[in-house]
Amino acid sequence: MDFHFLSLFKQGTRAGGTRMKRSPLYLFNTLSKKKDEFQAIKPDSVRMYSCGPTVYDRAHIGNLRPYVFSDILRRTLEYNGYTVKHVINITDVGHLTSDEDAGDDKMLLALRREGLPVTLAEMKKVGTKYAKMFKKDLGDLNIKTPLAFPRASEHIEGQIAFIKTLEEKGYAYILKDGVYFDTGVFKTYGALGGTPKELNTGVSRLKGGKRKRNERDFALWKFSTEESSTGKKLGWDSPWGVGFPGWHIECSAMSTEYLGKYFDIHTGGMDHIPVHHNNEIAQTEALTGKPFVNYWLHSAFLTIEGKKISKSIGNTVYLYHLADRGFPPFAYRYWLLTGHYRTQLNFTWEALQGAYSALVKLHKQFLDLGASNGVVVKSYQERFERFVNDDLDTPKAIALLFELIEDNAVEKRDKRATILDMNRVLGIGFIESHRQMKRMLAGETKKVEVKEAPREVQELVKERESAREEKDWKTADLLREKIAKEGYDIKDTEEGSELTKK
């Protein structure tokens, strides 16, 4: 019987909407430190919150890893027949450069760096600019759009209400520089663990007699120490004084507002475990008196050429750098999936080239399969499901995809249907209309000779070439954006600049 492609999407749910029994799904839970079998709170739907970026700068490729991971998690849950309510927040206030309530406010740093007036309105604008870039990167990486991207600056009232309740319940106290959460009253503090050294660093850094009651106590609200450009104190009014919410409170306030006071999954990068997520649990459970989240999942970090990603080393790579060198974002997504999300990965250009070549090969072989779908091959589907249901083992799932591609015993149309079934989880671009991949395969790159481009574009290309010669990368990047606004992508090759019409 012919199996129409659309029916693939209906798998996992019965006609009546109840979930079809699939093999068990195991996820490594930071709370229990082991792979737990996933049980949803509600029978058919899962609520999941991912800590989002601080929008004081563009996200580098390391920052994007947690969202490729949460996308695979979401798609795996959907593959298992759940509907998923996914929320990614946008941090645009209150995140200091250190997790321990010390250092500078990252959004203020952005205003200073960009020479903008110090006002809440400008802060919002800068945040909007980087949030837009972040969302574009997510789209380019084929990450499914979440239900909402709530912004901290748009949920100040909710955060104040949250802190007020904590105060009423006896969990908060006031110091000279802000309102603090009293971990001494919340007896189970530190549910996720974390190195004591990291948790203890807070006290010594709080100067000027601002003694906290316990070392691990953290700020819920920080009083403003900044004058805005209008001469007033910078910040929001609150019952305690003008200031900013602490970073952690936004995630407790917004996750519970969008997903309810008790939900299924919370994700983030591993750096969030010792402080941010322990604090989120403490605040929320102190408020509700109930468990907050059942499964806490964390993705590992990325190094570049063996080193920590750092502006001071100058090894930061952004998604557009990949495009510059002719790699579509799918190549990066695919490369990430060849490693397990809990394994630290080291990015190198050679590794990306290798991943890209493998992906191109896969796509070409897929195109050779023709355009009609047969049936999903059960034996392959079962193994695939077992792999992804084993704590999202994408490296094994990808190896299986290659095994299937090479398997001459499977009919072409069935192979096609099975690959598309696997791609519901992997999302590496077999049918998604990804311009770059499609163009690349069709060999129609829409290249335009620089001398044939409009005069304004030619001027911008010239200016950019001189900026690059002077190693003024910032200006070169700005000029790239201008060229993009004119409708062209620019790539640097050994022969010089290369233009492609968008």
Nearer to ligand AMP, 307 or 412 (CB): 307
Nearer to Zn ion, 51 or 345 (CB): 51
Of 65, 42, 60, 4, the closest CA to residue 272 belongs to 65
Which does residue 66 bind out of ligand AMP, Zn ion, none, counting CB within 5 to 8 angstroms by kind? Answer: ligand AMP
Q: Single out the segment in contact with ligand AMP by CB under 6 A; choices: 61-69, 111-119, 122-130, 191-199.
A: 61-69
Beta strand ranges found along 92-217 (DSSP E): 172-175, 178-181
- Tokens describing residue 242: 């003008």
If one asks whether residue 440 binds Zn ion (CB under 5 A), the answer comes out as: no
Q: End-to-end alpha-carbon separation of the chain, Å? A: 42
- Tokens describing residue 379: 């034996």
Nearer to Zn ion, 223 or 247 (CB): 247
Residue 392's identity, in one-letter code, is: L
Q: Report the nearest approach of ligand AMP to the CB of residue 344 (Å).
A: 8
Q: Report the nearest approach of Zn ion to the CB of residue 279 (Å).
A: 9
- Tokens describing residue 417: 């249907």
Nearer to ligand AMP, 340 or 416 (CB): 340
Q: CB neighbours of 274 closer than 8 A, spacing ≥ 6?
A: 99, 192, 193, 194, 195, 198, 199
If one asks whether residue 398 binds Zn ion (CB under 5 A), the answer comes out as: no
Q: Single out the segment in contact with Zn ion by CB under 5 A; choices: 47-55, 168-176, 206-214, 387-395.
A: 47-55
- Give start and end residues of each alpha helix (H) in 338-454: 349-367, 378-388, 394-406, 412-426, 435-442
**Rounded Cα distance, 266 and 39, in Å:** 14
Helix axes 455-469, 473-485, angle to 10 degrees: 160
Residue 323's identity, in one-letter code, is: A
**Rounded Cα distance, 417 and 419, in Å:** 6
Tell which one of 53, 94, 178, 427 touches ligand AMP (CB under 6 A): 53
Q: Report the nearest approach of ligand AMP to the CB of residue 442 (Å).
A: 34
Tell which one of 48, 49, 66, 426 touches ligand AMP (CB under 6 A): 66
Segment 300-359, which members bind ligand AMP (CB under 6 A)?
Answer: 301-302, 309
Tell which one of 25, 31, 51, 331 touches Zn ion (CB under 5 A): 51
- Our CA dihedral for 431, 375, 24, 68, rounded to 10 degrees, sits at -10
Q: Report the nearest approach of ligand AMP to the CB of residue 107 (Å).
A: 11
Helices (runs of H) and strands (runs of E) counted in the chain: 18, 16
- Tokens describing residue 351: 């590794």
How distant, in Å, are the alpha carbons of 98, 108, 168, 435 from that of 103?
6, 11, 29, 43
Which does residue 63 bind out of ligand AMP, Zn ion, none, counting CB within 5 to 8 angstroms by kind? Answer: ligand AMP
Indicate the DSSP class of residue 494.
Answer: T
Which does residue 192 bind out of Zn ion, ligand AMP, none, counting CB within 5 to 8 angstroms by kind? Answer: none
Of 149, 155, 167, the closest CA to residue 51 belongs to 149
- 3-class secondary structure, 346: strand
Tell the residue number behind the tokens 């309740």, with chain if given: 165
Q: Single out the segment in contact with ligand AMP by CB under 6 A; choices: 58-66, 166-174, 315-323, 366-374.
A: 58-66
Q: Single out the segment in contact with ligand AMP by CB under 6 A; choices: 49-57, 363-371, 447-455, 478-486.
A: 49-57
Which does residue 54 bind out of Zn ion, ligand AMP, none, counting CB within 5 to 8 angstroms by kind? Answer: ligand AMP
- Tokens describing residue 192: 């996720």
Nearer to ligand AMP, 173 or 301 (CB): 301
If one asks whether residue 51 binds ligand AMP (CB under 6 A), the answer comes out as: yes
Q: Report the nearest approach of Zn ion to the CB of residue 135 (Å).
A: 18
If one asks whether residue 146 binds ligand AMP (CB under 6 A), the answer comes out as: no
Which does residue 251 bind out of Zn ion, ligand AMP, none, counting CB within 5 to 8 angstroms by kind? Answer: Zn ion
If one asks whether residue 251 binds Zn ion (CB under 5 A), the answer comes out as: yes
Segment 136-195, which members bind Zn ion (CB under 5 A)?
Answer: none
If one asks whether residue 62 binds ligand AMP (CB under 6 A), the answer comes out as: yes
Segment 259-288, which members bind ligand AMP (CB under 6 A)?
Answer: 268-269, 271-272
Would you list the DSSP string of 312-339? TTT----HHHHHHTT--HHHHHHHHHTS
- 3-class secondary structure, 230: coil
If one asks whether residue 235 binds ligand AMP (CB under 6 A), the answer comes out as: no
Q: Single out the segment in contact with ligand AMP by CB under 6 A; choices: 47-55, 158-166, 180-188, 484-492.
A: 47-55
Binding residues for ligand AMP (CB under 6 A): 51, 53-54, 62-63, 65-66, 268-269, 271-272, 301-302, 309
Binding residues for Zn ion (CB under 5 A): 51, 251
